[in-house]
Amino acid sequence: MKKIQIILFLNLFVISLTAQNKLPVYLDDSKTIEERIEDALSRMTLEEKVKMIHAQSQFSSAGVPRLGIPENWMTDGPHGIRAEVLWDDWGQAGWTNDSCMAFPALTCLAATWNPQLAALYGKSIGEEARYRNKNVLLGPGVNIYRTPLNGRNFEYMGEDPFLASRMVVPYVQGVQSNGVAACVKHFALNNQEIDRHTVNVNVSDRALYEIYLPAFKAAVIEGKAWAIMGAYNRYKGQWCCQNEYLLNNILRGEWNFDGVVISDWGGVNNTEQAIYQGIDMEFGTWTDGLASGKRNVFDQYYLATPFLELLQSQKVKEEEVNKKVRNILRLVFRTTMNRHRPFGSFATPEHGLAARQIAEEGIVLLQNKNNLLPLDLNTVKKVAVIGENAVKMMTIGGGSSSLKAKYEISPLDGIRNRIGSKAEVVYARGYVGEATAIQDGVKSSDITDNRSPEELIAEASQVAKEADYVIFIGGLNKHDGQDSEGNDRANLELPYKQDALISALAKVNKNLVVVIISGNAVAMPWVNDVPAIIESWYLGSEAGNALASILLGDCNPSGKLPFTFPVKLTDVGAHAVGDYPGKNGEENYKEDLFAGYRWNDRNKIKALFPFGHGLSYTQFTYGKASISNKFMQENETLTITVPVKNTGKKTGKEIVQLYIGDEKSTLERPVKELKSFEKILLHPEEEKTIEFVISLNDLKFYDDEKRTWIAEPGKFKVYIGASSTDIRTMVDFELK
């Protein structure tokens, strides 16, 4: 009897202990995220809620310490994890454990046309963010390439909404597989840096929906991005960070976005609109931190004390702050409070390999007359490398994407390492652009050279003359006014008298390769005098190694241009008819839908190098395309097949592109638009048949009067080719 009593007592004791230890709902991950959110919200004070929705430091916002809810930590983005900066100042914090792997710029990723590499990129950079305990990565960027002058094009994925969409989705998914949110930026219409804080963009609904929004939409709907960043500029007169149309109607209303909307740093401009017009978190409004002395300046943000006072006086309903906090708590439960997320890794050899693979697949061989490339060490004994970009660090500069990289292999070092003792490598500077770069207190090596352009050209010409092979490495850099945030380029030309230098080199040595390092198209007045040209982007830590392996043929180039290289600026719609960079604060996208190749097609303008162009060291022959049916019904798909054969001597990858044109429509449409592509590996003599499936969605355009996507019955043409202009085979069909 006694024994039974003791057991009963013990049982009761255990039961009461468990009840006491029962997890509150918000900590219980057997509950749904929505249940946890409501529970956490019900425990928070008004002050705690308001603290959560604005910055507490340059890159963080408060958690709820009392409840054990962690802070949110953001990091740039999008090419590597930014060095730690001070709490309330942009200066570098001086940590010694924050040197990251620098991945290639997003233009390079887009140039791979390889969604698997976008997944690898996202996964790898997400691991780096996770290791550094950041739960939001400020990237990727998917603003459409509208003008080659935009200083930030290098952070984006090119001119085509379909290509950018296909590449952004796996990037986002890869990042988020680490329990780190991708913050897709800059939503929306941030297509230039000049006047970015003020310019009001006027764009037709068709261009908005068909060109400028699809990549964001794909990131949200398919990629399920957990965060998005509002842009600095205005649309319909409202700043994009507090924009009823973009944030409330489109993002939340049409796309059902359930993530968090983060302002660009300093993108919020008043309290009233920020309360009601879609922003959840305010960052960077004043960046002088504690400088004002009396109170923490972060408390003075539009969504800090001013908002709190409105809530306390009940001039604004508590539900308005709850809406924002819910989105932030959702972020927290998806990231920091997800106890199953992985731990990440940082600056590892694996990440170096990923960076290199992406770099190698993104480099574009633009021209290769007489098969000058790859460089053959059996015949070449003396190689002259010329140009500042051969020795310049490119991971530093460019604005917020600037990095403190663990290492960066310069092109010259990459070439020297690869060639070793098999040939002599000599170097001449050729031109002087910028001697040092410094950002966030991270400084590049000093490459000051005080010689005049004439002296530099004379020396370089002499060096080139005495070599049997010349590799010029120039282009742009990450300084203000080049590929850099905050400003645009002044013109399409190469800076620092490089054109004169290249022409001089072409005169003394016919074996000249020009390597352009840039994130933008540049003019090439010497294009006919130079046999081989490469677009090599900003490639990050593995830059020199990747470039060397392309130059020497270890890796067969397989990148293709994600944007058009125009001959001249007026060949670009934004410059021909659009009033770039705007007048009196207003900018009209008069070229409408016709960004990039759509403009060239429509006006029959020959590009210097067209969208989708890129050569290989082997050749691909396309057979005749066939189509499963000559007619398409509304709920049917059509299959188009095309055989492609490697008829050259090297294994290589080809990007087969499929464009569709609507032969007749009530509203004007582009001649053709990219709707599918496939990157395939082929060994010599190997042939593969590629299968593309197209559906009704691929035929639709946005009807701005009906405010919906429609496909009109009639004839469509399918163009299959190696670029937007190199069309190899066509089929047509009719939509019934």
**Interface contacts to ligand BGC, rule CB under 6 A:** 76-77, 138, 185, 264-265, 400
Query: Rounded to whole angstroms, how far apart are CA atoms 731 and 736?
Result: 16
**Residue tagged 């300046």 (tokens):** 297
Query: Rounded to whole angstroms, how far apart are CA atoms 335 and 225?
Result: 12
Q: Residue of minimal CB distance from ligand BGC? A: 400
Query: Rounded to whole angstroms, how far apart are CA atoms 151 and 623?
Result: 41
Catalytic residue (one of 76, 88, 98, 264): 264
Q: By C-alpha distance, which of 543, 564, 214 is closest to 405? A: 543
Whether the bond between 148 and the residue before it is cis, its omega within 30 degrees of 0, is no
When the beta carbons of 400 and 723 are compared against ligand BGC, the nearer one is 400
When the beta carbons of 131 and 232 are compared against ligand BGC, the nearer one is 232
Query: Rounded to whole angstroms, how far apart are CA atoms 353 and 121?
Result: 11
Q: Does the annotation count 488 as an active-site position?
A: no
Query: Rounded to whole angstroms, how far apart are CA atoms 298 and 280?
Result: 16
**Residue tagged 């219409």 (tokens):** 189
Query: Rounded to whole angstroms, how far apart are CA atoms 241 and 263?
Result: 6
Q: By C-alpha distance, which of 557, 559, 656 is closest to 111? A: 559
With a CB cutoff of 8 Å and minimum separation 6, the contacts of 607 are 564, 565, 566, 567, 571, 597, 600, 725
Residue 306 tokens read as: 């001013």
Query: Rounded to whole angstroms, how far apart are CA atoms 146 and 657?
Result: 21
Residue 49 carries which side chain, given as an amino acid letter? Answer: K
Q: Do 135 and 330 form a contact (C-beta atoms < 8 A)? A: no
Q: Do 559 and 361 form a contact (C-beta atoms < 8 A)? A: yes
Query: Rounded to whole angstroms, how far apart are CA atoms 259 and 225?
Result: 7
Query: Rounded to whole angstroms, how far apart are CA atoms 645 and 706?
Result: 45
Query: Rounded to whole angstroms, how far apart are CA atoms 647 and 38?
Result: 63
Query: Rounded to whole angstroms, how far apart are CA atoms 286 and 279?
Result: 17
Query: Rounded to whole angstroms, how far apart are CA atoms 216 and 235?
Result: 16
Q: By C-alpha distance, which of 617, 659, 702 is closest to 162? A: 659
* Residue 585 DSSP one-character state: T
Q: Do 598 and 702 form a contact (C-beta atoms < 8 A)? A: no
When the beta carbons of 58 and 357 are compared against ligand BGC, the nearer one is 58
Residue 431 tokens read as: 């031109």
Shortest gap between Cβ of 210 and ligand BGC (angstroms)? 25
Q: Which residues are catalytic?
A: 264
